[in-house]
Amino acid sequence: MLASGKLPSELLARLLQVLPITDPQLLLGPAVGEDAAVIDFSPGQDRLLVVKSDPITFATEEIGYYAVNVCANDLAVTGAKPRFYLPTVLLPAGQTDAHGAEQIFAQIADSCRRLGIVVAGGHSEITPTVNQPVVAGTMLGEVLRSQVVRSGGCRPGDLVLMAGAAPVEGTSIIARAKRQVLLARGWSSAELDQAANFLHEPGISILQPAQLASQRGLVTAMHDPTEGGVATALLELSMAAGVGLEIDLDAIAIPALSRRLCAEFDLNPLGVIASGALLATAAPAQAEVLLALWKTHGWPRAIIGQVVAPDAGLRARQGEHQAPFPQFAVDEITKLWA
């Protein structure tokens, strides 16, 4: 039986082959590692339609905030500006009152206003088919034809960059989901409040660094690490482009608080859900420009590796030594509920 979480990449690639995904107006369709669809909805025009659907299933607190920002991130890494959102809100029967529904709608409303997104429709219902709130949303955006970025656009010789830190989203989820356990183990309320607030500070949105990169034409590829963490996102980037990667694991920014929380539950932080980080690839000369630009806007940033030939596969190093490239069948955070 398959484990909970995303379908394995190899299985997903096979499943996608049976779908009708070929059309001259579909410029970027479903593929392992690609974050959103790009559609030439009005041929001959300069603006393209970008679309993404995504559910939130790990988190329940502030689920509306998660839902909006995760979809917006996936549009941002294609170079798009998010414009319209259509959430489907499923609420558990026997557990839902008006206040709970109002909170979720308020979170969606506030998050969309902050990002300049309009709610254009959607669906809501109370149903016995879920045992916790689920928000599955579709977001539409637009991008100039000349600014489209694909996960599959990187090529050997590019450098691999990361903006932000990881696992920001996972840190917040752990602190919220296991607060009582951690208090009993001696963690202070102040530490757990700080970790829970990683959702907002540093935050899970990577809209700004992605738009800075795409609008200046500085990147060959971008990808949004989510379920499966940075390690899985790097694997997906490699698969999308058909290239190899050589990654310096020590260069990946992991906050000390995140390391400690992950260690409490024997989680590898590189495999924990990681919204709040942005992966990008760029030619060496452009990479230096982009790193300086991210620095100007206050973003943590680093060169974490390079793109290599396909036959090199995925390689990792720690310090001066080769290391196994970390791979995870499911997100490490699922251990919290095992």
CATH of the domain at 65: 3.30.1330.10
Q: Quote the pLDDT of residue 338.
A: 81
How confident is residue 58, by pLDDT bands cut at 50, 70 and 90?
Answer: confident
Q: Quote the pLDDT of residue 223.
A: 96
Question: Is residue 175, in this structure, part of any structural domain at all?
Answer: yes
What is the rounded average pLDDT for all residues in the chain? 95
pLDDT tops 90 at residue 191: yes
Report the relative pairing of strands 244-248 and 314-318 from DSSP bridges.
parallel
Are 161 and 75 contained in the same domain?
Answer: no
Hey, is 262 helix, strand or coil? helix
Average pLDDT over residues 305-320: 94
Are 128 and 239 contained in the same domain?
Answer: no
Are 168 and 181 contained in the same domain?
Answer: yes
How confident is residue 44, by pLDDT bands cut at 50, 70 and 90?
Answer: confident
How far is CA 54 from each of CA 87, 135, 184, 252, rounded to the nearest angstrom?
9, 8, 35, 26
- Which residue from 281, 292, 293 is spatially nearest to 246, judged by alpha carbons? 281
End-to-end CA distance of the chain: 15
How confident is residue 6, by pLDDT bands cut at 50, 70 and 90?
Answer: confident
Q: Which residue has the tokens 């996972």?
A: 170
Question: Is residue 4, in this structure, part of any structural domain at all?
Answer: no
Are 171 and 300 contained in the same domain?
Answer: yes
Domain boundary residue, one of 90, 113, 147: 147
Question: Is residue 2, in this structure, part of any structural domain at all?
Answer: no
Instruction: Report percent pLDDT > 70 for the chain.
Output: 100
- Report the number of distinct structural domains present in the chain: 2
Are 166 and 308 contained in the same domain?
Answer: yes
Are 252 and 277 contained in the same domain?
Answer: yes
Question: Is residue 272, in this structure, part of any structural domain at all?
Answer: yes
Are 63 and 173 contained in the same domain?
Answer: no
Q: 65 or 320: which carries more pLDDT confidence?
A: 65
Which structural domain range is residue 32 located in? 9-147
Question: Is residue 314, in this structure, part of any structural domain at all?
Answer: yes
Domain boundary residue, one of 115, 147, 179: 147
Are 180 and 270 contained in the same domain?
Answer: yes
Q: Which residue has the tokens 């590898």?
A: 268
Average pLDDT over residues 50-54: 96
How confident is residue 217, by pLDDT bands cut at 50, 70 and 90?
Answer: very high
Q: How many CA atoms lie within 13 A of 268 on its CB side?
A: 16
pLDDT tops 90 at residue 179: yes
Are 183 and 235 contained in the same domain?
Answer: yes
pLDDT tops 90 at residue 161: yes
Are 325 and 229 contained in the same domain?
Answer: yes
Domain boundary residue, one of 125, 147, 169: 147
Asked if 261 and 122 touch (Cβ cutoff 8 Å), the reply is: no
Are 257 and 178 contained in the same domain?
Answer: yes
- Which residue from 229, 234, 107, 210 is spatially nearest to 170, judged by alpha carbons? 229
Q: Quote the pLDDT of residue 42.
A: 87
Instruction: Report percent pLDDT > 90 for the chain.
Output: 91
- State which amino acid sits at residue 48: L
Dump pLDDT digits (tens) for 231-247.
999 999 999 999 999 99
pLDDT tops 90 at residue 146: yes
Are 75 and 126 contained in the same domain?
Answer: yes
Q: Where are the alpha helices (DSSP H) in the chain?
A: 9-16, 63-76, 98-115, 168-177, 179-184, 189-196, 207-215, 229-241, 256-264, 284-296
Question: Is residue 322, in this structure, part of any structural domain at all?
Answer: yes
Average pLDDT over residues 324-338: 92
Q: What is the CATH number of the domain that holds 315?
A: 3.90.650.10
pLDDT tops 80 at residue 208: yes
Question: Is residue 161, in this structure, part of any structural domain at all?
Answer: yes
pLDDT tops 80 at residue 59: no
Question: Is residue 105, in this structure, part of any structural domain at all?
Answer: yes
pLDDT tops 90 at residue 94: yes
How confident is residue 2, by pLDDT bands cut at 50, 70 and 90?
Answer: confident
How confident is residue 289, by pLDDT bands cut at 50, 70 and 90?
Answer: very high
Q: Quote the pLDDT of residue 43.
A: 86
pLDDT tops 80 at residue 119: yes
